[in-house]
Structure 1
Amino acid sequence: MARRTTAPPASRDSGYVDLRSYGAIGDGRTVALIAEDGSVDWLPIPSLDSIPVFARLLDADGGGAIALAPVEPFTVKRRYVPATNVLETTFTTDSGVARVTDALVTGVAGRLPWVELARRIEGVDGDVKFRWKVAPGSRLGSASPWIDVTTHGQVIRIDGVTIAVRGIDNGARRSGNQAIAGTFTTAAGSLHQVTVVGTSNEPLHLPDPGNVDRGIDRTIENWRAWSREFNYDGPWSDAVQRSALALKLLIFSPTGAIAAAATTSLPESLAGGKNWDYRFAWVRDLAYTVTALIRFGLREETHGSVSWLLRTIRDNGPDLHVFYTLDGDVPSGVEEHDMAGWRGNKPVVTGNPAGGQLQLGVYGDLFDVMRRYVEAGNILDAETGRLLAEVADTTCDAWHRQDHGMWELPDVHHYTSSKMGCWSALDNAVKLCELGQIPGSAARWAAERDAIKEWVEENCWSEERQAYTFYAGSDDLDASILLHGPSGFERGPRMASTIDAIRDELGAGPLLYRYSGVQAEEATFVSCAFWAAAALACVGRQDDAVALMDELVDLGNDVGLYSEMIDAESHAFLGNFPQGLSHLALVNTAITIEELSRD
């Protein structure tokens, strides 16, 4: 899916490019980000949550990159090979045209046991001279790469990671003591290849370049086979399928966990300061993802993600945590690294400080996952039933407490959307009990559910603002309340007027800020705008929902990807990328609008 004609690549301002410039590829274990100018500026090895070996994204000088581009000035046109996460970039110069196909190669039986980034360069017309360089960085300021000469050729080693460069007619040579580089010139019909393979604390397999080339084609077919199982023929189908493919990049296949984003430390504001690591699995994001996976008929990913969540909760219980590592552990704090940061925005961190917070909405997220899983025709085991009954009992007491809210804020309050999340948890617990899937006291859960509803209506509704407020006693607004049109908490006049109040105060064109007063600190939050469209559909304003959705779908980048945030004026991307929640919001809003249009 290409959204524009051939254009010059985004400029590298002080060594960095706009976040809109990036396309993403992956293999089920890690993700690479490739700029329009052909540079791979982000690639953790071996896993998505590893310390990245190539991190020019966060440090233009020392982060490391895999550069590949024509020597002459050029223009670029990009697309994903249809129905895949394989990126195709066409470079045009005054002397010719060449096409680069980038893939993180997958094997016959799924992901390879090593990372294999393959770059196939084909001459299309005339001749184009290319220059390339594989230059690992300092692993966020922790180590130095060096070239080691072995009996099978040169490798680059850095802090346990071993990297080799293979290829076809690529002119490879040593470049100093820390990099491998080369040049070649394409001609019409010519074939060249630059392939980077890597492992961490494991032996390294050196693939045959011919096998790699066949592997690119196999990877394309593997993605297309997955896409053939994908089932959605409603409105905005191209954007929905691209978002589904983006979400597939964030599913960590070794465990079934779903990462919130592929990166860390990309700022939510050009002023800096709000830089977090999103390479963890949030229960909230998994809940929304399962909704989409079920709707698309993707049974294996659905079961894998649900099983991972339940296993992880049991292993780290009894408390339900907000998020977990991709391996299913409880995260351990934050480490700050001495790196420049994207365009000088610090800090660069690994870890996320929200791990120890109380966020009551997570109870609603868990039960939403389980209800949808059961409604899709699945059966819960007895141990899971008992676990969920215990969580429902906990929710009956916990909803009275103050928490940090969905936005992981430092101040605790009786956040309205948290109470609504507890309402949703108990409402779904009652339904699961009535379906015979979990034991327990449905009567108690129903009584507490109704008590939460009454408390919210009395304490969190503002007659003056005609809206549900941010938290009890506040007159501020919170866009996360929009989630509770689809949840069923409120689909009547109160939700309708809340939507209008939120869009009036927090709106910036079709986009929305997260909550009152945050406009001075960060850009608009992409998900919130999609939530508004879904909420509009839930209150019966179908035409408004469709019109808003049409505007939002056009705000992705040239290959259909979304970041966490978008600047209201320039539409520049901010925050971590690609952001799962943004793509989930697009997908689930499209599903909501499509389903309600049939009612």
Structure 2
Amino acid sequence: MDGYAELRDYAVIGDGRSVALIARDGSVDWLAWPDLDSPTVFAAVLDPFRGGRFLLQPDVPYAAARRYVPGTNVLETTFTTAGGTVRLTDALTLPDSHSLAPGRELVRRIEGLAGSVPMRWSVQPRFGYGARAPNLAHRAGVPVAVSGPDAVAVCAWNAGQPQCTADSVTARFRADAGTWALVALPYAHQEPLVLPARAECETRLDHTIAAWRQWTEERTYTGPWREAVLRSALALKLLVFAPSAAVAAAATCSLPEGLGGERNWDYRFSWIRDSAFTLDAFLKLGCAPEAISYFWWLMHASQLTHPRLHVLYRLNGGTRAPERTLPLSGYRDSAPVRIGNAAADQLQLDTYGELLQTAWLHTTAGRPLDADIARRLAETADFICTIWQQPDAGIWEVRSGPEHFTQSKMMCWITLDRALDLARRQLIPDRHAARWRRERQAVAEFVDTRCFSPRLNSYVRSADSDGLDAGLLLGLLHGYRPPDDPRMRGTVTAIQRTLQDGPYVNRYLGPDGLPGSEGAFLACSFWLSEALARCGRVEKAVHLMEQLVALANDVGLYSEEIDPTTGAFLGNLPQALSHLALISAACTIGEATR
């Protein structure tokens, strides 16, 4: 459609440092190098004319089918034409110990399976979100695109004779049955560019497949929807930024929550909002190294702004995320295209509950807290005692002005409740436990008097309102009230009645300070499924979960939202919170059925 692929048609590959989006037609339409949150080399998903891409496909009409190599984040696309069949294998390779590897490397292997298929490929690098066209030259006979400190080589073996134009490298060749071709893009940033040999690229590709398989085989999950859970684990692993252990909310920026609208945000940051779900998922999947590393990253990042928490942190732990727009057309004319995120400067009270919940989960898994972190957690509880009565932007980061959001207050209660439990177990200082207990009771009185509607028999979105919010389900999932509490059960029923439409659940209804509309938020649907299981309505939970698992795209991935009318993906992808919510719901339902 005017140069754009459906968002549902994207698969992702990655190496723990960067992530690429590949469309069903073999086009790499997104790749930020050297890191996941760096400016892009390819960004055709945001502008097919200025963004740049790496296209590799048959030069005749074809049908395409794809899958991940089992247990990996290596993608296989099979193209079938009237004259034959080829298989394309794509990977961002992992370095091995046997050769000098480039700083980053994309490898694309083409295998002729049957007959003979004419192929074409075109590398169109556009550095800096499409702002900088490359300077193309040859080094040792290899085309190299250079822009400032960035360099990308185009290495091709048995894949035709590369031809350089002013701003791209192209070639055509035939893939005959039994032949193998390879195109590799080694990359360097402020360092010498390594031009690899073909055998080295092949070895790293095989090593990458083996490394992903080994990681997947070590996962301990054995419950229902195992395939979906493991694919979600692999998607989550792609969003773990290996140099720091931070977990990005998504791999992309500015993919729209509503086509043609302006709800386009940069999600390449680590949100405190996701922290408890992240640690819980790592623990349930047997990812102890990831859980420990992520916890310590979180403690380090939050120390930099203690006692106040930022809503989000950069993947290196920094706090600056100034929001600005880019001169790109946006996905299917959804503008503006934003990088950075102004929500970083908001007050979101729920983040404090997520931080204490994460620390609490860390300790219940048998992990210690050192004295400095214990002191800071106690000071966080002290701090929430002084600020919980303030209005905030809420979990959904509304830009219409602060309110007394119910879910935020519930998470303030969680902050103090978890601090009291940690103090009872002598894991944090208990000098102010009496105050924490008094303020916890005050928060509960506020929530249960001003944030509950007897008419609706439900907690409401904000104090003295009558709207509903799917974020209220987190009050049940995180333990503000037990599952048999009549008010929590009434809230689940009210959300089903008001916000649910089949498998889809809206975050809330009503204005939020932004024009336009959005799709159904996938995480909310998984939260509802989990809440139903916790309330003993296991059959309904299973039914909803089956519907949600079927909403993934053909390779098992989820975006942030889905259009309930068309089924189209909306928002950034892959979305960590969608996959985290799937893992949490699957584990809870599995426990309930057992």
Match of 1:229 in 2: 218
Is 1:364–2:364 an aligned residue pair? no
1:37-78: per-residue Cα shift (whole Å, max 9, x none)? Answer: 000000011101011010001001110001000011101111
Match of 2:411 in 1: 421
Secondary structure in 2 matching 1:33: strand
Q: Is the 8 A contact 1:536 1:544 kept in 2?
A: yes
Match of 1:310 in 2: 299
Report the alpha carbon displacement of residue 159 of structure 1 after superposing the two structures with TM: 3.4
Report the alpha carbon displacement of residue 138 of structure 1 after superposing the two structures with TM: 4.8
Report the CA distance shift for 1:113/1:495 in structure 2 as closer, same or farther (over 3 A): farther
Aligned ranges for residues 151-550 of structure 1 at < 5 Å? 151=140, 153-410=142-399, 411-440=401-430, 441-490=432-481, 491=483, 492-517=485-510, 521-550=517-546
Find the aligned partners of 2:368 and 2:110 in 1 and give their Cα distance.
49
Q: Is the 8 A contact 1:54 1:139 kept in 2?
A: no
Find the aligned partners of 1:575 and 1:585 in 2 and give their Cα distance.
16
1:105-160: per-residue Cα shift (whole Å, max 9, x none)? Answer: 00226996611110111111111111001111253242221202334532101232
Find the aligned partners of 1:543 and 1:442 in 2 and give their Cα distance.
41
Which of 353-362 and 502-511 deviates more?
Answer: 502-511
**What is the letter of the counterpart of residue 242 of structure 1?**
R
Q: Report the identity percentage.
A: 46
Match of 2:9 in 1: 21
Gapped runs of 5+ residues in structure 2?
none
1:233-260: per-residue Cα shift (whole Å, max 9, x none)? Answer: 0111110000000000000000011100
Q: Is the 8 A contact 1:172 1:180 kept in 2?
A: no
Report the CA distance shift for 1:21/1:348 in structure 2 as closer, same or farther (over 3 A): same
Find the aligned partners of 1:551 and 1:73 in 2 and give their Cα distance.
34
- What TM-score does the superposition give when structure 2 sets the normalisation length? 0.96
Gapped runs of 5+ residues in structure 1?
1-12
Q: Is the 8 A contact 2:260 2:335 kept in 1?
A: no
Find the aligned partners of 2:553 and 2:324 in 1 and give their Cα distance.
31
Match of 1:100 in 2: 88
Q: Is the 8 A contact 2:470 2:495 kept in 1?
A: yes
From 15, 39, 54, give the equivalent of 2:42: 54
Q: Is the 8 A contact 1:143 1:159 kept in 2?
A: no
1:312-365: per-residue Cα shift (whole Å, max 9, x none)? Answer: 112233321111001110023111111111111111111011011000000111
Q: Is the 8 A contact 1:144 1:159 kept in 2?
A: no
Which of 429-438 and 397-406 deviates more?
Answer: 429-438
Match of 1:565 in 2: 561
**What is the letter of the counterpart of residue 104 of structure 1?**
L
Match of 2:592 in 1: 596
Report the alpha carbon displacement of residue 367 of structure 1 after superposing the two structures with TM: 0.9
Find the aligned partners of 1:416 and 1:315 in 2 and give their Cα distance.
28
Q: Is the 8 A contact 2:136 2:164 kept in 1?
A: no
Secondary structure in 1 matching 2:477: coil
Find the aligned partners of 1:103 and 1:417 in 2 and give their Cα distance.
41
Q: Is the 8 A contact 1:141 1:337 kept in 2?
A: no
Report the alpha carbon displacement of residue 454 of structure 1 after superposing the two structures with TM: 2.0
Secondary structure in 2 matching 1:88: strand
Find the aligned partners of 2:471 and 2:307 in 1 and give their Cα distance.
27
1:430-482: per-residue Cα shift (whole Å, max 9, x none)? Answer: 11112221112333323322221222111100011111100001101110001
Match of 1:7 in 2: none
Instruction: Show structure 1 runs of 4+ deviating over 4 A.
Output: 109-113
1:76-117: per-residue Cα shift (whole Å, max 9, x none)? Answer: 111111110000111100000111111110022699661111
Report the alpha carbon displacement of residue 309 of structure 1 after superposing the two structures with TM: 0.8
Secondary structure in 2 matching 1:578: coil
Find the aligned partners of 1:141 and 1:150 in 2 and give their Cα distance.
24
Secondary structure in 1 matching 2:47: coil
Find the aligned partners of 1:434 and 1:90 in 2 and give their Cα distance.
58
Q: Count how many residue pairs are aligned between Structure 1 and Structure 2.
A: 586
Secondary structure in 2 matching 1:139: helix
From 528, 546, 549, give the equivalent of 1:553: 549
Q: Is the 8 A contact 1:55 1:139 kept in 2?
A: no
Match of 2:51 in 1: 63
Secondary structure in 2 matching 1:390: helix
Report the alpha carbon displacement of residue 299 of structure 1 after superposing the two structures with TM: 1.1
Match of 2:24 in 1: 36
